[in-house]
Chain A
Amino acid sequence: MKKFSKNFYIRVAIVSVVILLIMAISTLSLGRADFISDAANIVLQPIKQCVSFVYDKASGVIDSFIKAGSYAEENELLKARIAILENDYSDIEAYKAENERLLALLNMKSSMPQLNLQGASVISIESDNWYNVITIDKGIGMGVNVNDVVITAQGLVGTVYEVGTTWAKVREIIDIESSISAVCARTGDRGVVEGDFNLAEAGRCKLNYLPKNANVVIGDRIEISDTGSIYPKGVYIGKIVEIHDDDDGLTLTAIVESEVNFNSLSEVLVGR
Chain B
Amino acid sequence: MGLKFKAILMLAVVLLQVTVLSHFTLFGVIPNFIFAFSFALCIINDNVESVVFATVTGLLVDMLTGANIGINTLLYMYTAIAAIILISFAYQKSMKVVIPMCLAASFLYEFIFGILSFLFRGAEIALGDIFSVVVPACIVNTLVFIPVYVLLSRIRFEKKRKGIRYEQQI
- The answer to the question of B8 belonging to the interface, with a C-beta cut-off of 8 Å to chain A, is no
B55 contact set on A, CB distance < 8 A: 15
A52 contact set on B, CB distance < 8 A: 19-20
- The answer to the question of B15 belonging to the interface, with a C-beta cut-off of 8 Å to chain A, is yes
A8 to B: closest C-beta gap in Å: 6
- The answer to the question of A107 belonging to the interface, with a C-beta cut-off of 8 Å to chain B, is no
Chain B interface, number of residues (Cβ within 8 angstroms): 27
A41 contact set on B, CB distance < 8 A: 63-64
Chain B 67-79 per-residue mask, 1 if CB under 8 angstroms from chain A, else 0: 0111101100100
Q: Which of B57-96 contact A (CB under 8 A)?
A: 59-60, 62-64, 68-71, 73-74, 77, 81, 84-85, 88
Chain A 23-64 per-residue mask, 1 if CB under 8 angstroms from chain B, else 0: 100110000001011001100100110011001000100000
- The answer to the question of A85 belonging to the interface, with a C-beta cut-off of 8 Å to chain B, is no
Inter-chain contact B73/A19, CB cutoff 8 Å: yes
Inter-chain contact B70/A23, CB cutoff 8 Å: yes
CA gap between A2 and B89 in the complex, in Å: 9
Inter-chain contact B69/A26, CB cutoff 8 Å: yes
Inter-chain contact A2/B15, CB cutoff 8 Å: no
Contact partner of A36 among B19, B20, B69, B77, CB < 8 A? B69
Inter-chain contact A48/B19, CB cutoff 8 Å: yes
B71 to A: closest C-beta gap in Å: 7
- The answer to the question of B165 belonging to the interface, with a C-beta cut-off of 8 Å to chain A, is no
A23 contact set on B, CB distance < 8 A: 68-71, 74, 120
- The answer to the question of B4 belonging to the interface, with a C-beta cut-off of 8 Å to chain A, is no
CA gap between A34 and B63 in the complex, in Å: 9
- The answer to the question of B18 belonging to the interface, with a C-beta cut-off of 8 Å to chain A, is yes
- The answer to the question of A6 belonging to the interface, with a C-beta cut-off of 8 Å to chain B, is no
Inter-chain contact B15/A27, CB cutoff 8 Å: no
Cβ-closest chain B residue relative to A16: B74
Q: A22-B69, A47-B15 are in contact. Are A55 and B20 (CB under 8 A)?
A: yes
Inter-chain contact B81/A4, CB cutoff 8 Å: yes
B88 contact set on A, CB distance < 8 A: 2-3
A72 contact set on B, CB distance < 8 A: none
B150 contact set on A, CB distance < 8 A: none
A15 contact set on B, CB distance < 8 A: 55, 77
CA gap between A152 and B74 in the complex, in Å: 91
Cβ-closest chain B residue relative to A49: B19
> Can you show 27 pairs from A to B with CB atoms below 8 A apart?
A2-B88, A3-B46, A4-B81, A12-B77, A15-B77, A16-B77, A19-B73, A19-B74, A23-B69, A23-B70, A23-B71, A23-B120, A26-B68, A26-B70, A34-B69, A37-B64, A40-B64, A41-B64, A44-B64, A47-B15, A48-B15, A48-B19, A51-B19, A51-B20, A52-B20, A55-B19, A55-B23
